[in-house]
A and B are shown apart, each in its own frame.
Chain A
Amino acid sequence: MRSRTVRSAIATSAAALAVLGVAGCSKQSTSTDTASSATTSAQVAETNLKIVPQMPVDQNGAEITLATDAAPPANPAGDGTATCAPLAIAMAGPLTGADAPFGTNVKDGAQLAIDQHNAANPGCQVELKAFDTEGDAQKATAIAPQIVGDAAIVGLVGPTWSGETKATGAVFDQAGLAALTPWATNVALADQGWKTFFRGLSNDGVQGPALANYLKNVVGVKKACVVDDSTDAGLGQANAVRDTLGPIADSACNISVKKGDKDFSAAVTQIKGQSPDLVVYASYYSEAALLLQQLRDAGYTGTFSGPDGLNDPQFVKSAGQAADGAILSCPCGPASGAFADEYTKKFGQAPGTYSLEAYDLATILLKGIDSGAVTREALLDYVRNYSGQGVARMYQWTPNGELTSNMIWIYKVQ
């Protein structure tokens, strides 16, 4: 009995080695890939690709020339003489769960502004209270009453996602609590009639057409496949791109995948069948990196593009060389210079998407507090009448909470 078992075990293992050997040997006999033989058998270099800002564009994809005499951006430290009772600014966004990196970027941006303010103004200490929505609109509706119920909170940086903002906007409107969102880009949010809604960036109605027009007019693509991830944001952005691209977006490869998917072989097969020269993915970087790499492995050589969800260093880290030449759009401004250095020093990594907007919006709230607006009504009024330069852009709002001037940045991975 025992020897029979041992014999069959040995036989199976031998068969295993044989199969692996066959698989291995066939690996060698395939046509050599010139790219991979160029990388020597020594170390593979770390990808030196970075996301480099190209230019800001408007809705028609045309370049906007930046004014060279713009005022210096608002500094949260102010003049160091502010005095106030202990107050708090709230932040709401996904801090745990699959979307945790995004909310953490926002929280860290706001935290940096607040820490700079507190360090410079010993007479006015503001606390950041972070509320975790887990990226879930349901959870957000449970969080919103907590935020408005806390009397120390006079302003809110958030909510982060469009779904969360839609679910909670009425609560903040009723409580008169200014809610400055650094990321929610869904167009319909500004039409809800909320007096407390302020969007710190251009919405999807601007970003989608801007990117699509840029790709159509400046890059000059002829045939595109647009892939969305079935989320609110992704679908909205993808549809905006599809509408603007018009006949260039091939309807035979209008694909919807699911956020969280790891395997895109069915989508890749469908895209390959259409041979486009552009693939647009909306809208988060982890799936985008996977899709891009699987596309490149399958032999796709065209352009890859996507909106702000892809604009994160993690996208390049995950996709590696495959990301070279990818064109990204973002309503967010380039995070560089003093802000990026301070952020990296404090948090140990480069600023993520919208850390900069969160920083700017928190700065606006802090300036309001410093100027004496220490109640919710006063701060709301301050924000409504605010007009000033931030690190990312000029901030001034229309009555329904949209920025008065729109700007979308185009980035390229190179």
Chain B
Amino acid sequence: MIHQCLGDYACLAGNIGFNVENLRNGFWQLTIDGFAWGAIYALVAVGYTLVFGVLRLINFAHSEIFMLGMFGAYFCLDKILGFAPSGNAYNKGVGLTVLYLGIAMLFAMGVSGLAALGLEAVAYRPLRRRNSRPLTFLITAIGMSFVIQEFVHFILPRIITGYGGSNAQQPIILVRPRVQFHIFGADVTNVTLVIVASAVVLAALTDIAINRTKFGRGIRAVAQDPTTATLMGVSRERIIMTTFLIGGLLAGAAALLFILKVPQGIIYSGGFLLGIKAFSAAVLGGIGNLRGALLGGLLLGVMENYGQALFGTQWRDVVAFVLLVLVLLIRPTGILGESLGKARA
């Protein structure tokens, strides 16, 4: 028995490479691709970090909000804009493609935003009214994650034929990845450009929203001290709804960008692993810190790719989580550390 266990482990070790050559050859390509993935992780991570900052709750159902956004974008492209699902790419020309993608993104953001608000109203508000313990919130979050997944798995096919179920949706591919230019020998495709550009814009807008607007100040106030904020006239319930809404909107946008990159990834379980990685990214950058979430996402995306090249493609997810553990060992509050609620100088 032990002999067999050792034998199995030895087999595992045989599969870990240490291929520095691979990493060096593909360095810039891996970095560029890592930025694209990192952008998606960053947008989803913001949802986790904002909710934690305001409510001290890890919203494990956020990955399902992302997944619902994917289905929302698919629905928009399929039923509203009329693209028939097919494994082949459409070629509508640049302007129209950008327009269609924009509409799909707005629709996805709407679906995710509404789903986030619904989740808050149905799952978390009743618990808040009863002053439940944090553990109860956590269990509810995990439970809602499963409920939404299995809803899409089993019930959605009965509501809209062809949606949900065990198989991934047949893809609708609007953009064929084409190389635009080269940086240090690495290919930069149009898909990468669109993803990174959109993510940068959305991140900047969110940053402005949180740090420069009145309701952003309200969010920071409630994160810092809910009771005093209420005394100052900030409606706690409104702020919480706004926080969930912002997280949902960004998850919806990330969902569309994910579909651009992986058109065949629309399935009920498609949000789960990505959500865990985005949560790790949020913790990596400093949970409760908006800029930390963005930085953490980018860092995770890039490091994952490096690790993949260095150790072997099957170790990609392991690298992501090992990185998280290492950073927490050295700096427990995450890289950027400060929380949403700390007063800025």
Contacts and interface: CB of A to CB of B under 8 A. Distances in A.
B176 A19 contact: no
A13 B201 contact: yes
A9 B197 contact: no
A78 B296 CA distance: 65
A230 B95 CA distance: 42
Q: Which of A25, A230, A318 is most buried by chain B, counting CB atoms within 10 A of its CB?
A: A318
A5 B213 contact: yes
Interface stretch (B82-90, B115-123, B245-253, B333-341): B82-90
A44 B208 contact: no
A33 B261 contact: no
Contacts of B194: 20, 23
Interface in A252-273: 255-258, 260-267, 269-270
Contacts of A106: none
A206 interface: no
A267 B313 contact: yes
A26 B175 CA distance: 13
A319 B309 CA distance: 25
Interface stretch (B42-50, B235-243, B262-270, B280-288): B262-270
Given A28-B94, A258-B317, A297-B177, A263 B86 contact: no
B264 A290 contact: yes
A322 B264 CA distance: 13
A322 B177 CA distance: 14
A411 to B, nearest CB: 17
Nearest to A256: B314
A299 B194 CA distance: 21
A345 interface: no
Interface in B167-198: 167-168, 170-171, 173, 176-181, 190, 193-194, 197-198
B27 to A, nearest CB: 11
A27 B29 CA distance: 19
B88 A27 contact: no
A267 B316 CA distance: 12
B184 to A, nearest CB: 15
A263 B91 CA distance: 23
Most chain A CB neighbours (cut-off 10 Å) among B88, B197, B198, B208: B88
Tell me whether chain A's interface is mostly helix, strand or loop, or mixed.
helix
Contact of A43 (B33, B84, B269, B316): B84
Contacts of A43: 84
A317 B170 contact: yes
A27 B314 contact: no
Interface string B94-133: 1101100000000000000000000000000000000000
A289 B87 contact: yes
Interface stretch (A34-42, A170-178, A193-201): A34-42
B212 A263 contact: no
Nearest to A99: B166
B205 A263 contact: no
B87 A316 contact: yes
Contacts of A265: 29, 33, 305
A44 B308 CA distance: 36
B146 to A, nearest CB: 11
B180 A23 contact: yes
Contact of B265 (A4, A262, A321): A262
A25 B86 CA distance: 26
Contacts of A24: 94-95, 97-98
B226 interface: no
A45 B85 CA distance: 10
B39 interface: no
B259 to A, nearest CB: 11
B197 A20 contact: yes
B22 interface: yes
Interface of A: 1, 4-5, 8-9, 12-13, 15-16, 19-20, 23-28, 30, 33, 36-37, 39, 41, 43-47, 96-98, 100-101, 104, 230, 255-258, 260-267, 269-270, 286, 289-290, 293, 297, 314, 316-323
Interface of B: 15, 22, 26, 29-30, 33, 37, 84-95, 97-98, 153, 166-168, 170-171, 173, 176-181, 190, 193-194, 197-198, 200-201, 204-205, 208, 212-213, 261-262, 264-265, 269, 273, 305, 308-309, 312-314, 316-317
17 contacts: A4-B212, A8-B212, A13-B205, A19-B197, A19-B201, A23-B193, A23-B197, A33-B178, A44-B84, A44-B86, A260-B273, A293-B264, A320-B86, A320-B87, A320-B88, A321-B88, A322-B87
Shortest Cβ-Cβ A-B pairs, 4 listed? A320-B87, A16-B201, A100-B166, A23-B193
